[in-house]
Structure 1
Amino acid sequence: MTITNNALSGALAAQAALNAVSQNIANAQTKGYTRQGVLLVATASDASANSPGNGVQIGSLLRFSDSYKSQQMWRAASDLGQRSQVQPYLSQLETVMSADKSSISYGVDNFFKALNAAGVDPTSTPLRQQVITAADSMSQQFNSIYNLTANQLISVQQQQTAILPSLNESLSGIAALNQQIVSLGATGTNTSALLDKREQLIDSVASQVAVEVINNPDGTASVSLKSGQPLVVSNLAANLNYVSTSGASTLTLTFANTSFKLDDTKVGGQLGGLGDFRDNTLKPLQKSISEIAEQMSQKINDTLTSGFKSDGTAGVAMLSFNPTSATGLLQVASGFQTTDLAFSSDGTPGDSGNLQKLVDVKGQSINLTSIGSVLLGDADTQIVGKLGISSQQNQSQLKTATTIRSQAEDDWKSTSGVNTDEEAINLVEFQNMYQANMKVIAVANTLFDSTLQMFG
């Protein structure tokens, strides 16, 4: 009977819809889950039949996904990854280098204060010793901060290397899921769970490097870097690693036996953020510290060697500059004593002509690659100020990136996330639909029994 068939199709359709609702409710708190539904389509009547139709059928299983919103979320993940990775380094540098007692400026100021104090009595051994002690303290502060930058450089490189295994594993996972989705999709199997898993892996990759994603008609997703190099195509995945050549490490991408050299400062995400910080902030800062130490020590040594000691002999260098040592960048020369300080300009004991020239060194200009010409006494303040600006800019960009990511996630959830209130309404509606169709079947059975009794 048509009435029974119609009601049966309705009951089955309601049951399928209830299955989708139950799946959604069960996964309401599952991270990355995309809600599902069913598309109900009326079954048309036969051409020769005088009836309103043949019930209802399931047109397709629905997956509520918006590609644009997913892309926005992945772009936000890249920006957030880029900014979040470098802020701890910037904050540490800013804190140490601007501290009252640990800054380079503090050491330099104390050294020149000791030189000024020695002008009261250039022959005083305690005052001369104070100059040497201040020079040693200044050197240690240079060494401490320079060593901090060297340690950060090592940490950045280690962190970049540590990202690659996870990144490569995610790329391989996306390629494998591409193959499964195509294979199962061809049999009509619901692949929503596999699609969810693939999108979570893409989100993970996007936080590590900035990506472009193309959803292909066959169900696969192609992933590439912003610069165009392929990361995943169908069931093939790229592999990224650092290759050391002549002491330098180069990020290399290998795909289908073809290798690409990449500039890791421009790949975006966590990897690109670390590379950009390393080359455009940390290394220039490290070089500036080295240049201050080198040029200051050169000026002080040149001034001392142009003067005379108390015994009338020529002065000797006091500071030793060693750019190859992270912990010994600047040191007081081994064996340097108070009698070696050449304060006299003419060899006369008690003369302070050369001492005044030493004091004047603080007001002389030096050249820094990152800043240009600057007074020696202002050099550290200038580079710390530049560092502070970089840190503040990154903090602002990090705050913006965090907000954008949060908004992108909320936007994604508005389409793909499970709303338990909405699902509760659907649950009642499809339950009523099922019960109504079962009631129709009961009515149909009653009518059938009544018809039989008429002929009984």
Structure 2
Amino acid sequence: MTSGLFNIATSALNTAQRALDTTGHNIANVNTEGYSRQRAEVATRPAQFSGGGYIGKGVQGTTIRRMYDEFIQTQLRNTTSTSRYYDTLYDSLSRVDNLVADPSAGLAPALQGFFSAVQGVANDPTSSANRTVLLAEAESLVDRFNFLHQRFQDQQFIVDGQIGDSVQEINSITDALARLNAQIVSAQGRGQPPNDLLDKRDQLILELSGYVDVTTVEQDDGAMNVFIGRGQGVVLGNRATPLNAVPSTPGMPLEIRLGTGDKAVDITRQMTGGQLGGLLEVRNNVLDVAHNELGRVAVGLALAFNDQHRQGYDLLGETDKAFFKVPTPEVLPGKGVSGPNPTVTFDTDPSQWGQLKASDYRLTHEGGEWHLTRVSDGRKLGSYGAGDEIKVDGLVITMPASGSAGDSFLIRPTRNASADIAVTIKNPEEIAAAGQPGGVGDNRNALALAKVQTTNFLNGGTTSLEGAYDGLVGRIGTRTRQAEVASLAQERLLADAKAQRESVSGVNLDEEAANLLRYQQAYQASAQIIAITNTLFDTLIGAVRR
């Protein structure tokens, strides 16, 4: 009898000790990020049958269970990814919005100043001072184009740097996840869940979701396969596949590739959500578009103003002079291309300027033909033979005379136009204000030049130069506001998701303090049973000795 009671007391003592240890562990980790509250699970020991019924054998600890809800954790992970995406988007868009909409540093005041100077020459074409002011304002306008181009380049450099940093952080996290998978598989093979390791893994996955969308699939052995973006596997069991951020060709933006060497796959377009998704969205659909749009305004100004300026006469009686240098479209050959480049120029026909797009173009050689695609909307514009000359979107493109399968070129008509535009007229008397030779006081061409400011010749003849730039400012401002609203909304949703997780998995110190007292009393009571058992045993021994 005493041995049975002693075993019951010992089991109760051990169980209370385990519960006290678990409670202490909870209290110690109250501030540990990602920690899930643990609870000692207990069950009665199998009873022993006797003629008088089943006699209890005490209690036993079954496991240490963490308070964890997979649905809530997944919701927190998804909300974290979305919140970080909009935070990044809003932060980057704000910088671009402040740049283009700045009343002193934006393009609008420089355009207005330039055309006001043109009007000044129209008001008094004989005034040398007015002509000098016009040249000064033209140089200021070109400087503003150059300044904005450089600022866009700076923003591109910043974003690309952040993309590279994000990729490094992702690789660091996926490496740690692969190592944790190996530890968890080994520990779980002993029959009990390694709660602290599981918490560490969940926390790392949560951190990963801050950089990119994450989905997970748990394996039978306890390992967790991790996929990012639109299903790109970066952790499979105890193996992690690294990402690399490298330009496809020198001078090009960074691409994100999965794997290394020749087997690396470009997954840039597959990356969504989180900081990385936000950075890619800003770079590809905001900065690139804004940069191209700024360049389109520069090209439109140079083409339209030059076209009208060539029709006038300067004080020297000369005509057919360009006022601005027209930027040259940029052509970038793809990796491994050794053949001739396509020739790309802007169409000089004014009726075609309305077709100019703020887009890049990709020319690829497949099946013995050249295929042209507009990058902004992915539209295929046609297939052409070697040496063919085509006119499309205000461009004149002459196909390369030869090419190999897989050859490709990126055509960027307006990307660097805001850096390349320049004033070619250097002397005030060369300004062609007159409508006929020898007309010193003639201002007819100057009046026509002033009308370039308000003439709708872009966007199919519906938008002026200022209208095109104002449209850019408006679109960026609208997107910035949308991103701000979404960021604030997601911030509240994230706070709710964190609170929901805390309600299930968080450590409540008041509750743990109550548990300490409860388990302490159970421990003391169990010790008292042992003391009573010893007394009973001594009594029994004494009776036998008599």
Query: One fold, TM greater than 0.5?
Result: yes
State whether structure 2 residue 253 is matched by structure 1 residue 252.
no
The answer to whether the 8 A contact 2:40-2:65 is kept is: yes
Shift of 1:10: 0.7
1:276 is aligned to 281
CA distance in 2, matches of 1:279, 1:223: 26
State whether structure 2 residue 342 is matched by structure 1 residue 340.
no
For 2:421, which of 318, 330, 347 is the aligned residue?
A: 330
Per-residue CA deviations over 1:151-175 (Å, capped at 9, x if unaligned) read 2122222221222222112112111
Shift of 1:265: 6.1
1:98-247 matched pairs, under 5 angstroms: 98-188=101-191, 191-247=194-250
2:85 is aligned to 82
State whether structure 2 residue 266 is matched by structure 1 residue 261.
yes
The answer to whether the 8 A contact 2:244-2:260 is kept is: no
Comparing 345-354 with 94-103, which one deviates more in the overlay?
94-103
For 2:501, which of 391, 394, 412 is the aligned residue?
A: 412
CA distance in 1, matches of 2:229, 2:114: 51
CA distance in 1, matches of 2:474, 2:58: 75
Per-residue CA deviations over 1:407-429 (Å, capped at 9, x if unaligned) read 22221111111111111111111
- Per the alignment, do residues 429 and 257 of structure 1 end up closer, same or farther by CA in structure 2, a change over 3 Å counting? farther
Per-residue CA deviations over 1:76-117 (Å, capped at 9, x if unaligned) read 221122222233321112112212211111111111111222
CA distance in 1, matches of 2:262, 2:61: 46
CA distance in 1, matches of 2:246, 2:154: 21
CA distance in 2, matches of 1:243, 1:98: 32
Shift of 1:257: 9.7
1:357 is aligned to 448
- Per the alignment, do residues 73 and 272 of structure 1 end up closer, same or farther by CA in structure 2, a change over 3 Å counting? same
Superposition CA RMSD, Å: 2.2
For 1:398, which of 475, 482, 487 is the aligned residue?
A: 487
2:361 is aligned to none
Comparing 287-296 with 188-197, which one deviates more in the overlay?
188-197
- Per the alignment, do residues 287 and 252 of structure 1 end up closer, same or farther by CA in structure 2, a change over 3 Å counting? same
The answer to whether the 8 A contact 1:344-1:355 is kept is: yes
Which residue type is aligned with residue 431 of structure 2?
L
The answer to whether the 8 A contact 2:103-2:109 is kept is: yes
1:430 is aligned to 519
Shift of 1:39: 0.5
Percent identical pairs in the alignment equals 28
Comparing 319-328 with 186-195, which one deviates more in the overlay?
319-328
1:26 is aligned to 28
- Per the alignment, do residues 98 and 243 of structure 1 end up closer, same or farther by CA in structure 2, a change over 3 Å counting? closer
Which residue type is aligned with residue 115 of structure 1?
V
Per-residue CA deviations over 1:323-358 (Å, capped at 9, x if unaligned) read 56587332222x611101111001211011001101
Shift of 1:183: 0.9
Other structure's SS at 2:231 match: coil
The answer to whether the 8 A contact 2:27-2:509 is kept is: yes
2:345 is aligned to none
Per-residue CA deviations over 1:354-403 (Å, capped at 9, x if unaligned) read 0110111111123259xx84122322211101000111111112112222
- Per the alignment, do residues 296 and 136 of structure 1 end up closer, same or farther by CA in structure 2, a change over 3 Å counting? same
CA distance in 1, matches of 2:255, 2:534: 78
Other structure's SS at 2:118 match: helix
Other structure's SS at 1:60 match: strand
Which residue type is aligned with residue 165 of structure 1?
Q
Give the structure with the higher percent helix: 1
2:470 is aligned to 381
For 1:93, which of 75, 93, 96 is the aligned residue?
A: 96
Comparing 217-226 with 372-381, which one deviates more in the overlay?
372-381
Per-residue CA deviations over 1:252-301 (Å, capped at 9, x if unaligned) read 21399964431346432222221121111111111110000111111111
The answer to whether the 8 A contact 1:345-1:354 is kept is: yes
CA distance in 1, matches of 2:308, 2:263: 59
CA distance in 1, matches of 2:530, 2:25: 27
Shift of 1:451: 3.5
2:537 is aligned to 448
Shift of 1:315: 5.0
- Per the alignment, do residues 308 and 383 of structure 1 end up closer, same or farther by CA in structure 2, a change over 3 Å counting? same
Shift of 1:17: 0.2
State whether structure 2 residue 323 is matched by structure 1 residue 318.
yes
Q: Unpaired segments of 5 or more residues in structure 1?
A: none
For 1:68, which of 71, 79, 100 is the aligned residue?
A: 71
The answer to whether the 8 A contact 1:176-1:235 is kept is: yes
Which residue type is aligned with residue 324 of structure 2?
L
2:290 is aligned to 285
The answer to whether the 8 A contact 2:79-2:490 is kept is: yes
Paired residues in the alignment total 453
- Per the alignment, do residues 242 and 134 of structure 1 end up closer, same or farther by CA in structure 2, a change over 3 Å counting? same
Other structure's SS at 2:125 match: coil
State whether structure 2 residue 307 is matched by structure 1 residue 309.
no
- Per the alignment, do residues 252 and 194 of structure 1 end up closer, same or farther by CA in structure 2, a change over 3 Å counting? same
Which residue type is aligned with residue 9 of structure 1?
S
Shift of 1:143: 1.4
CA distance in 2, matches of 1:71, 1:181: 20
The answer to whether the 8 A contact 2:295-2:418 is kept is: no
- Per the alignment, do residues 355 and 304 of structure 1 end up closer, same or farther by CA in structure 2, a change over 3 Å counting? same
Comparing 185-194 with 156-165, which one deviates more in the overlay?
185-194
2:303 is aligned to 298
Other structure's SS at 2:42 match: strand
Q: Unpaired segments of 5 or more residues in structure 2?
A: 331-415
Shift of 1:226: 4.4
Shift of 1:228: 2.3
The answer to whether the 8 A contact 2:8-2:58 is kept is: yes
Shift of 1:446: 2.6
CA distance in 2, matches of 1:118, 1:153: 39
